[in-house]
Amino acid sequence: MLRPAAPAARSALRAALRPGAMSGAAKPAATPSLASPSARLLSTAAKTTERQPWTCLHRPIPTAAKTARKQQLGGQRRWKSQEELKSRNKSGPFSWRAGLLFVGTSGFLLWFFEHEKERMKQKRMAEANKGYGKPRVGGEFELVDTQGNTFTDEDLKGRYSLVYFGFTHCPDICPEELDKMAQLFDLVESKSPRPGSLLPVFVTCDPARDDPKTLRKYLDDFHPRFVGLTGTYDQVKKTCKAYRVYFSTPEKVKPGEDYLVDHSIYFYIMDPEGEFVEVLGRQHSPEEGARIILGHMKDWKGQWKS
């Protein structure tokens, strides 16, 4: 164990550390007695200090080291304050942009799956109506149009048809349905990529009063492109039977006497091959009916009438 240095040795060390003592012009300080280990230790420290004077406690970082440090931290963001760093960490990996992207993508996928679900439902319904073991809707018929020309089931082929059965003396239901039919037809024509791909047809259930001239005048009040069909009682009855349409006229009607005809209230959608696709009822709006027909047109892979 070292003993405390003598007062003379401490005085010599202080003298050696003074600025004047380190210059060459200054006189060397008196060397303390080296008899003790403490004196020898202090003398060695003084000589070392004289050989290597203290110029600066902190050396500057070389330029190359600074450049390497910047490159190492190049991709990292320096936060201005601790509060900003805490706020960033609090929000986590999600942001409002990520939230908007998630909501938008989810909404699109939901709409897509609902649209495809409805489309596949209509396709399955159309295929089911063509299946075996089910009552056939539609078939061969021969009637007369408002120009007096023969019109058969072959004239329906090559495009979709919308067929409705009624009579010109109907007080309320037929006018309402024909108004809807006109709106539906215009919607399909405006949105279909093929104009003329839908044929609206009105078949009378009252051939005794609905001759071609009367039928044309009546239909012009709703739409000029409606096709009106009539014929003999047996021809009309056969056509109604083919389409599974119920109609009934009162018996023993006197000439000139007014009467009503009871009949089914449906629109029959037929594809370009003359096959039954689907029915539209009174619960369907013009927009809904047009959407259904356009959906079937989109799925049609067969031939169209040129």
Domains identified in the chain and CATH numbers: 142-299 (3.40.30.10)
- Three-state DSSP state, 169: coil
Statement: residue 24 has pLDDT above 50: no
What's the average model confidence in pLDDT over 126-148? 75
pLDDT of residue 54: 46
Task: Sort residue 103 into left (φ over 0), alpha (ψ -120 to 50) or beta.
Answer: alpha
- Selected residue with higher pLDDT from 2 and 107: 107
Q: What is the pTM of this model?
A: 0.59
Strands in 276-280's sheet, in edge-to-edge order, are 150-152, 142-145, 227-230, 198-204, 160-166, 267-270, 276-280
pLDDT tens track for 90-136: 555 566 677 777 777 877 777 666 656 665 665 555 555 554 445 57
pLDDT of residue 42: 55
Lowest mean pLDDT among 40-44, 163-167, 188-192: 40-44
Q: Is 174 annotated as a binding residue?
A: yes
Q: How many angstroms separate the Cα of 252 from the Cα of each of 236, 256, 258?
A: 19, 12, 12
Q: Is 240 annotated as a binding residue?
A: no
Closest CA to 295 of 188, 190, 195: 188
| CB neighbours of residue 174 within 10 Å | 24
pLDDT of residue 26: 45
